[in-house]
Amino acid sequence: MNTDDRRGLFAALRDTTFRSLRHRYYRRYFAGQVVSFVGTWMQSAALMWLMYDRTGDPRWPSWLLVAQVGPTLLFGAWGGALADRYPKRRLVSTTQSCFLLNAIVLTVVVASGLAVPWLVLVLMAVNGVVQAVDLPARLAFVPDLVPKEDLINAVGLNSLVFNSARAVGPALAGVLFLLANAVAPVLPAGTHAVTTGATACFALNALSFLAVLRALRGIPEPRANARTAGSMWDGLRYLRDRPQHGGLVALTFVVCVFAWPVVTVLPAYTRLRLGLREDAYSLLLSAMGAGALGAALATATFGSVARRGAFLLLGVGVCAAGLAGLGLADRAWAAGACCAAVGFGLILYLSTGQSVLQIAVPDEKRGRVMAWWAMTLSASTPLGHLLAGQAVTTFGVGPVLLGMGAGVGLVAVALAVLLVGLRRRDAVRVQRDDVRTAILKDRSS
């Protein structure tokens, strides 16, 4: 590729996939999130393996995820109301500072040997309460940083950041675990290699929050946030009055109940089905993240209002196929390919659905509506992960993964019915408007 071709490629990427980075403050926010999310996913992967290694119980990873996201279900509507009433940048800065403090405490607790399972569970529950405010605030903050015509692209890039981190973070955790195993012979007697690797992951995650705090410090409040009147339940009323958006949120709940538990099934799958260790588990998580990264790039580059229905259907279809394939796979390379398919399909669906809501919702209600989106994701997690963890102990990982694939496949059918109904309704509305226009023309003539 010559110089002119490279310049043409870079210009095309700048003007399509990364066009939202033209906006200075969004660019700062994007850079900070890259570092912070890598640390978050590194900590998540390390924590899952640490607790499974300590307990040998496949349900513990499920309980940890429930502790982290469950509070959003309880307090998400309140968090969304805060996002509509108070300066969003200041609110996000506060929540990120709380995450930093929690990561420091977790690092000290694990390094000192005090990380009994119940204490780690409490720390993750505290993290979850902070997230109940942070997530709606961040979802409502992004549309303040870019004009509306670049919002779909910005949502896609946010998904790109999150899922790049999903690929890189667990891979870095795997590297740190390998290094911990390599230096284990020279460590003091009684030092556990898994604990050493996990402690390093938690410490680096704490440092990563400094990047996003620095980025936020350089961003002024994009607009004055007048204290919005109204109830924190206005978001639910908005979805109730708009069946197309309410139906999308309801289907998203079902997708997440069946698809997200794959994350907590993977530790047992790696050891019991593949007969491998934590480095292979990290690679499977990274494969899922790589697929999600591809979906985020597709959304950022090709996402549009006209393609939203096709992207939603493609997402759930690929996700269902990946879960079913994972249930049948017994080789690491096949499992990695299936994890990539699950990540691609799930994120293509979720990023498209999120952008549909963010574009449709008026500014003064965005925090409260997006809070219900966040609460839907959070409500699905306790149910899905707890059921999956229990089912694995009863039926084994293969049958559970096949059942998860079947559940997502049923959502694809329901979504197709919903989209066909909306298209017919829109066609009838257009015909009615045409008839009304023709009648008015006849009367005026």
Classified as helix, coil or strand, 53 is: helix
When mean pLDDT is compared over 72-76, 77-81, 341-345, 386-390, the highest value belongs to 341-345
Residue 72: partners with Cβ closer than 8 Å, 6 or more residues away: 79, 128, 131, 132, 135, 374, 375, 377, 378
> What's the sign of the alpha-carbon dihedral 161, 163, 169, 172?
negative
pLDDT-wise least confident of 12-16, 266-270, 272-276: 12-16
> What's the sign of the alpha-carbon dihedral 303, 308, 312, 318?
negative
Question: Element (H or E) spanning 108, and its range?
Answer: helix 88-111
Q: Which CATH number do you get for residue 351?
A: 1.20.1250.20
Residue 9: inside a domain: no
Task: List C-alpha distances in Å: 400 to 55, 56, 258, 329, 390.
Answer: 21, 19, 10, 13, 10
Q: What confidence tens digit (pLDDT) does each residue in 177-220 have?
A: 888 878 767 666 656 777 888 888 999 999 999 988 998 988 88
Residue 174: inside a domain: yes
Contacts of range 6-13, beta carbons closer than 8 Å, 24 or more positions apart:
none
HSE-CB at 405 with a 13 A cutoff on CA atoms is 20
Amino acid 252 reads: T
Classified as helix, coil or strand, 242 is: coil
Task: List C-alpha distances in Å: 148 to 11, 20, 37, 153.
Answer: 22, 11, 25, 10
Average pLDDT over residues 415-422: 78
At residue 436 the predicted structure's pLDDT band, cuts being 50, 70 and 90, is low
Query: Which residue shows structure tokens 């015909």?
Result: 431
Residue 50: inside a domain: yes
Residue 6: inside a domain: no
Q: What confidence tens digit (pLDDT) does each residue in 297-318 have?
A: 888 777 666 777 888 999 999 9
Q: How many Å apart are CA 162 and CA 433, to the nearest integer?
A: 43
- Which parts of 56-87 fold into alpha helices (H)? 59-85
Residue 112: inside a domain: yes
Tell me if 170 sits within 8 A of 43, measured CB to CB: no
Q: What confidence tens digit (pLDDT) does each residue in 117-167 have?
A: 888 888 999 998 998 888 888 888 887 888 877 777 887 788 777 767 777
Q: How many CB atoms lie within 10 A of CB 413?
A: 11
Specify the pLDDT at position 120.
Answer: 87
Residue 8: inside a domain: no
CA 267 to centroid of chain Cα atoms? 19
Of the candidates 381, 267, 270, 284, the one whose C-alpha atom is nearest the C-alpha of residue 341 is: 284
Specify the pLDDT at position 11.
Answer: 54
Specify the pLDDT at position 244.
Answer: 78
Residue 1: inside a domain: no
Specify the pLDDT at position 104.
Answer: 94
Classified as helix, coil or strand, 331 is: coil
Q: Note down the domain range covering 171.
A: 18-219+232-444
Residue 13: inside a domain: no
Q: Quote the crossing angle between the two packed helices 278-302 and 308-328, to the nearest 10°.
A: 160
More confident residue, 246 or 303: 246
Q: How many Å apart are CA 67 and CA 148, to the nearest integer?
A: 35
Number of domains in the chain: 1
Predicted TM-score (pTM) of the model is 0.70
CA 181 to centroid of chain Cα atoms? 31
Specify the pLDDT at position 10.
Answer: 53
Q: Please provide the DSSP assignment of 122-189 as one string.
A: HHHHHHHHHHHHHHHHHHHHGGGTS-GGGHHHHHHHHHHHHHHHHHHHHHHHHHHHHHHHHHGGGSPT
